[in-house]
Amino acid sequence: MPGNPRIVHQGIAPAIRIQIAPAQSHLAHLQQNLTHARSCRRRHVLHGRLTRALQHYGFHLAIAPLDFPYEAPIIAHPALVHRYRRPCILAGTGRSLELPANTHMVESVLQIDPRDNVVVALRPLRGGTVIHFGDRSCTVIDDIPIKHKLAIADLAPGDLIYLYGMVVGEAIKVIPRGGIISTRTVRHRAGAYTAQRQPVSFTLPDPAAWRPRTFSGFHREDGQVGTRNYWIVLPLVFCENRNVERMREALEEELGYGDSHNSYRSHVRKLVKRQASGDRPRAEDLAQERAERVFGNIDGIRFLTHQGGCGGTRQDAQALCGLLAGYIHHPNVAGATVLSLGCQNAQTTMLLDELRARDPKMTKPVLVFDQQKSGRESALMTRALNETFDALSQANQVTRTPAPLSALTIGLKCGGSDGFSGISANPTLGYLSDLIGQLGGKTLLSEFPELHGVEQELINRCASDALAQRFFDLMQAYSARAKAVHSGFEMNPSPGNIEDGLTTDAIKSAGAARKGGVAPVRDVLDFPEYATTPGLSLLCTPGNDVECVTAQAGAGANLVLFTTGLGTPTGNPVAPVLKISTNSDLAERMSDIIDFDAGGIVGGDTTIAECADQLLDVCIQVASGERFTKAEQLGQNDFIPWKRGVSL
């Protein structure tokens, strides 16, 4: 490997010039290509390669401001930036450029809260590296992977670990200053909490610029506004799953919805036709041709199969009916076809009672078909198809019209989280949640096992003592159920979470809670209750990606914002699920499932507020049907009802 780029110190001058020596041909070649690249996409790819090459030497590359030539990329070495309090620069063309003192530069570590005794590595750190945070510095003892934490104070066994200003772990071995925080040196520990709240207040973002904004949605008779217009077909019991699938096979293709879910079916159909005719297939003939929809104002028909409805507890059946009622009542749903066997625990009357509790006027068409009363399967299916087709004709009459942002109910979710989740994408959602709440909209913070350790913070933010007590009771009951089967919230982090820096559940929870912003908690909901109160609500769900998103949609979320650092394809049958990456590498590597990149926050290229504003613009486009999420494009319609057992 060639040597490090030569660093030229100009005494204590306010700028440091870094030049790539000609011998470093791989760097010089990349930079030369970057200089002469004509397309934006090509420049982006080469910029990424040069960035990764330079990171090997401990440097970070950033694009120069617009008033500088593009061919003069900037390289910042964090240690030198801290030492001289000015940017370090590289003139790719041999010229030196000095940037303003307020230029955003990439740091090597981040101390999230002044009370923290650990910092987050924003890049890989080698042992012996000197890091700087605030007016302090520290020598790294161990090699620290990116996203992991290292101690900035000597820690003895039993000492508490602080991150985000709260307890997130306990040392089980001596950890020297500069040492790594890992499962070998730290165990889970969370701060104690009570139902007694100590009211707090925070400065909320100004929503004035967003008040005039609207989205184009489907207005329902009950006052809700949908971001999509779906008809749903669902079984009351798993015995009817086959019949639901038969309806899917019959309706999707013939009505023009099938090709959007599987782009390969038409490809194979054309191949079969070519084979039969004896002609060789031509590339242009194999291009995707989506069948024209019979009902142009209906975005699709969704088929929700499940494994419940009978054989479990009566409480399971009641919860399932509550969830299904939430889906029928959902603003993105025009109506429903329900298939019942007849003898199951989840009776039709139970479903209709749950629906009536959410929609007393029963404003939507609900078509119920009982197989045991219908006799032959063909009689059941023929009648169901006939009546569903007629109902689709009526549902097709509704069109999009402007709606205020207060009509949005946004689920806040994270999954496949990493060590950057709590400092980039999750705080972005928190800022957006605060904006939506002030505009009169609703947001849902869920995943109760991933709120363990931040209970007191959320209790203090509850708008009333009754809400604080309910949240306390739900957390205590959930924790007790986990302990009853010899588990616990501390077992929530997955191997992928741990590998990417989320060593304990409390560390994971402290970052996950950032999705809820700083606004007051206006309601606390148990599964499968429906959200009706404007502002932030806490909804009791597992951390499991699909179970949680299924519950959020059942509570009325007409849009779900889902942050991920490792990548996950999760979607939902009725609510668009918009994926936000915590780091730019993921956004580039898994671009087929990522909708929005919040990684610029980590790189210092943007702020949380700027990122939230950009994301809200994307939300409006998605809500208006002008843009479809990657999960929608892939036909990722995940649906798993939570059976109130232990799911973390």
Mean pLDDT over the full length of the chain: 84
Q: Are residues 382 and 303 in the same domain?
A: yes
Q: Residue 600 and residue 615: Cα distance in Å, rounded?
A: 13
Q: Are residues 546 and 616 in the same domain?
A: yes
Please indicate, yes or no, if residue 273 is contained in any of the structural domains: no
Burial environment of residue 208 by CB neighbours within 10 A (0 to 12, 13 to 18, 19 or more): exposed
Q: Are residues 79 and 159 in the same domain?
A: no
Please indicate, yes or no, if residue 306 is contained in any of the structural domains: yes
pLDDT of amino acid 47: 53
Q: How many domains does the chain have?
A: 4
Q: Are residues 384 and 413 in the same domain?
A: no
pLDDT in tens, 499-510: 888 898 889 999
Residues 351/344, Cβ–Cβ less than 8 Å? no
Please indicate, yes or no, if residue 240 is contained in any of the structural domains: yes
Q: Are residues 451 and 418 in the same domain?
A: yes
Q: Are residues 393 and 426 in the same domain?
A: no
Question: Three-state SS for 108?
Answer: coil
Q: Are residues 445 and 567 in the same domain?
A: yes
Tokens coding 236 = 């009351």
Please indicate, yes or no, if residue 360 is contained in any of the structural domains: yes
Q: Are residues 319 and 444 in the same domain?
A: no
pLDDT of amino acid 50: 53
Q: Are residues 68 and 15 in the same domain?
A: yes
pTM: 0.81
Q: Are residues 431 and 512 in the same domain?
A: yes
CB neighbour list of residue 236: distance below 8 Å, 6 or more residues apart: 309, 321, 324, 338, 339, 340, 341, 344, 346, 347, 348, 351
CATH number at residue 133: 2.30.130.110
pLDDT of amino acid 8: 29
pLDDT in tens, 438-493: 999 999 999 999 999 999 999 999 999 999 999 999 999 999 998 888 888 877 88
Domain that holds residue 155: 109-187
CATH number at residue 333: 3.40.50
Residues 362/355, Cβ–Cβ less than 8 Å? yes
pLDDT of amino acid 257: 84
Please indicate, yes or no, if residue 642 is contained in any of the structural domains: no
Checking phi first, is residue 237 left (phi over 0); if not, alpha (psi -120 to 50) or beta?
Answer: beta
pLDDT in tens, 568-599: 999 999 999 999 999 999 999 999 999 999 99
Q: Are residues 301 and 372 in the same domain?
A: yes
